[in-house]
Structure 1
């Protein structure tokens, strides 16, 4: 059945002034705060939109407000419809 196999996707978030403010803080404390903020924000989005245990977040990206997650095509469609999400794209493996 299509849409049931988990694959790696990148999820990029919409503009967030809090992210921009934290990213502008170049101190070590600022970097730690940014990491925590993004990880929590991404975890909350996933918890709110997908069933517990049905996905595996592999990485929060700090350089852009986004993350990598192992999900099905159906779950990718659900995430695409979340208002905070700008783009969901399958991670294309380079052969």
Structure 2
């Protein structure tokens, strides 16, 4: 049986007051930026681990400017993420030809 094709999706999160506070603080110090990056990476990893089976996805990056992340997943996994209360939008990356 063929393994379902994975593609890159962007996942954007719902409003998070902790993220908003850390984002405002990041401009004030280098430590603030590192704290924001660490918070988002952990938050995004935790969401993926809660909803998807281990070793079935690959997170590419967390996006601090928008509280989102890029992840390689299948269409079925994207549908699962769309149903999560923490998630605002899941969009497939549309590469330019």
- Partner secondary structure for residue 94 of structure 1: coil
Shift of residue 57 of structure 1? 0.1
Map 1:55-74 to 2 at 5 A.
55-74=57-76
In 1: Cα distance, 2:44 partner to 2:37 partner: 11
Counterpart among 62, 77, 81 of residue 75 in structure 1: 77
User: When the two structures are superposed, what TM-score results if normalisation uses the length of structure 1?
Assistant: 0.96
- Whether 1:36 aligns to 2:56 is no
In 2: Cα distance, 1:28 partner to 1:82 partner: 32
Counterpart among 82, 86, 89 of residue 87 in structure 1: 89
- Partner secondary structure for residue 11 of structure 1: strand
User: When the two structures are superposed, what TM-score results if normalisation uses the length of structure 2?
Assistant: 0.94
